[in-house]
């Protein structure tokens, strides 16, 4: 068992970052806990539109081997001027 959660990144979002760059006006409103450790990335198959990043942290619930890794919602928004 491990304490993992996954965060999804859409292909459209990645394409925007890779072509337009990172918008300096963006900030993470709700994200990973400090100290979360990146484990691996994966997708849902050949026609997947989301890239999943798996992270471990002591605050996450335990996940049995072979069970789906729960999804952690990350919220990104604009910086207030």
Write the pLDDT tens digit of every residue in 34-62.
Answer: 999 999 999 988 888 899 999 999 999 99
Distance CA 71, CA 44 (A): 13
Tell me the domain boundaries of the chain.
4-78
Q: What is the pLDDT of residue 1?
A: 87
Q: Residue 79 above 80 pLDDT?
A: no
Q: What is the pLDDT of residue 81?
A: 60
Query: When comparing pLDDT for 78 and 33, which is higher?
Result: 33
Write the pLDDT tens digit of every residue in 12-24.
Answer: 888 888 998 888 8
Distance CA 11, CA 31 (A): 19
Write the pLDDT tens digit of every residue in 62-76.
Answer: 999 999 999 999 998
């Amino acid at each position: 068992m491990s304490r993992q959660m996954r965060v999804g990144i859409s292909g459209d979002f990645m394409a925007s970052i890779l072509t337009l760059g990172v918008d300096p006006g963006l900030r993470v409103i709700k994200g990973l806990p400090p100290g979360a450790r990146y484990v691996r990335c994966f997708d849902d198959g050949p026609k997947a539109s989301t890239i999943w990043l798996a992270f471990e942290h002591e605050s996450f619930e335990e996940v049995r081997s072979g069970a789906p890794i729960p999804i952690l919602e990350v919220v990104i928004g604009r910086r207030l001027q």
